[in-house]
Amino acid sequence: MILFIEKTWFLWWIVATLLALRWFHLSARTKMEAPDAVASEEKEQEAYILSWRIRHKTQVISLFETKV
Q: 48 in a domain, yes or no?
A: yes
Does this model's pTM top 0.75? My answer is: no
pLDDT tens, position by position, 37-48: 667 778 888 888
Q: 66 in a domain, yes or no?
A: no
Q: 41 in a domain, yes or no?
A: yes
Which domain does 33 fall in, by range?
2-56
Residue 32 in 3-state DSSP?
coil
Q: 51 in a domain, yes or no?
A: yes
pLDDT tens, position by position, 11-67: 999 999 999 999 888 877 666 655 666 677 788 888 888 787 777 776 666 666 655
Query: Looking at the 3D structure of the chain, how many domains does it have?
Result: 1
Q: Where are the alpha helices (DSSP H) in the chain?
A: 2-7, 9-31, 35-56
* 27 to 15, 30, 36, 54: CA distances (angstroms): 18, 5, 19, 38
